[in-house]
């Protein structure tokens, strides 16, 4: 077993054996179950509140599977992506602060392999979370709302996943760049919120990875989505961020 595969195996085992298993996977699973339930209950709650107000009539359309999927993706886009930023901030800076990077990197493991193993392990975790979350959400939605098409959910989750994988790589770069986890997290949050803000500018949405998140809502609604440019630029951004993370980390003193 080479140093790379030994370190990757350690990373995956660490996810399973530490608090990391409860953060992103726990959140995704929670939202996969709770989102369809909330979508089902929300109109009833609003109607019951309106009934207590004399003279107020609220007419809401009955909830459907679209609301369930929409609620799930909204949670993924907001809460889970912020969790991805926070946990990703410590990917490399955490090992540096704990001194574990020193013991590992004085063994036959190149710094580039160290960084790539970090990106791959976090990406595998996100892919597993997205697959599990989508499956659970589909099942709970079907139980509550009856038969519902799977493809809008899958398309939307895949678009979300593309953005989340980009965020993982960008966070690994920030974590390699800054020794302090807080600095990496701050910059990551700034990157996330600025990319949300830029989402109101049409050319950025059409031609860059910024367009991935607005496309999620369209995919759920079954509207046609053209994601060639957003996906292509996301892949380019992932490659550039990974290369930059390796380069920055190779030049740093531990």
Partner 1 sequence: MTDGSAIEIVGLEKRFGSTKALDGINLAVPAGQVFGFLGPNGAGKTTTLRILTGLAFASGGSARILGQDVTAAGNQLRSQIGYLPDVPGFYGWMTAPQFLHYVGRLFGLPRETITERTNALLDMAGLTSVRTAIGGFSRGMKQRLGIAQALMNAPRLLLLDEPTSALDPIGRREVLDMIVSLRGRTTVFFSTHILADVERVCDSVAILHRGQVVADATIAELKRRMAVDRLTIEVEGDAELLSADLSGQPWVRSIERAGSRVTLAVTDAALAQREVPAAVVRAGLGLRRFESGEVSLEDVFVDLVGPNER
Please select the residue that binds partner 1; options are 53, 59, 151, 253, rule is CB under 8 A.
253
Dihedral sign of CA atoms 203, 208, 214, 215 in order: positive
Tracing tokens 């990319």 back to the chain, one arrives at: 195
Q: To the nearest whole angstrom, how small is the minimum distance from the Cβ of residue 86 to partner 1?
A: 20
C-alpha separations of 94 from 38, 87, 98, 118 in Å: 36, 10, 6, 12
Q: Count H helices, E strands: the chain? A: 12, 0
The residue from 56, 107, 146, 224 that contacts partner 1 (CB under 8 A) is: 107
Neighbours of 132 (CB within 10 A): 14
User: Is 3 among the residues that bind partner 1 (CB under 8 A)?
Assistant: yes
CB nearer partner 1, residue 78 or residue 100: 100
- Asked if 21 is part of the footprint of partner 1 (rule: CB under 8 A), the reply reads no
Question: How many angstroms separate the CA atoms of 252 and 243, rounded?
Answer: 15
Q: Is 180 in the site for partner 1 (CB under 8 A)?
A: no
User: Which region, judged by CB under 8 A, interacts with partner 1, from 11-19, 33-41, 163-171, 223-231?
Assistant: 11-19
Q: Are 69 and 160 in contact (CB under 8 A)?
A: no
Which one among 46, 110, 139, 240 touches partner 1, defined by CB under 8 A?
110
Q: Which residues bind partner 1 (CB under 8 A)?
A: 1-3, 5-7, 9-10, 14, 17-18, 98-110, 253-254
């Amino acid at each position: 077993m080479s140093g790379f595969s030994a370190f990757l195996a350690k990373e995956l085992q660490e996810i399973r054996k530490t608090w990391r298993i409860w953060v992103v996977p726990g959140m995704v699973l929670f939202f996969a179950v709770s989102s369809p339930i909330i979508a089902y209950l929300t109109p009833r709650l609003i109607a019951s509140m309106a009934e207590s107000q004399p003279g107020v009539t609220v007419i809401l359309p009955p909830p459907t599977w679209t609301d369930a999927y929409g609620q799930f993706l909204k949670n993924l886009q907001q809460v889970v992506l912020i969790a991805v930023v926070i946990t990703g901030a410590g990917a490399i800076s955490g090992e540096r602060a704990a001194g574990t990077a020193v013991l590992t990197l004085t063994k036959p493991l190149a710094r580039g392999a160290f960084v790539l193993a970090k990106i791959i392990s976090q990406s595998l975790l996100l892919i597993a979370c997205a697959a599990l979350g989508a499956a659970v959400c589909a099942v709970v939605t079907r139980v509550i709302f009856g038969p519902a098409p799977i493809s809008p959910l899958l398309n939307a989750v895949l678009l979300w996943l593309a953005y989340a994988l980009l965020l993982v790589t960008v966070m690994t770069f920030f974590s390699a760049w800054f020794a302090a986890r807080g600095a990496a997290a701050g910059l990551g949050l700034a990157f996330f919120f600025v990319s949300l803000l830029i989402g109101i500018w049409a050319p950025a949405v059409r031609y860059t990875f910024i367009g991935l998140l607005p496309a999620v809502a369209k995919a759920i609604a079954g509207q046609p989505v053209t994601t060639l440019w957003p996906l292509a630029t996301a892949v380019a951004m992932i490659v550039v961020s990974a290369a930059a993370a390796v380069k920055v980390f190779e030049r740093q003193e531990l």
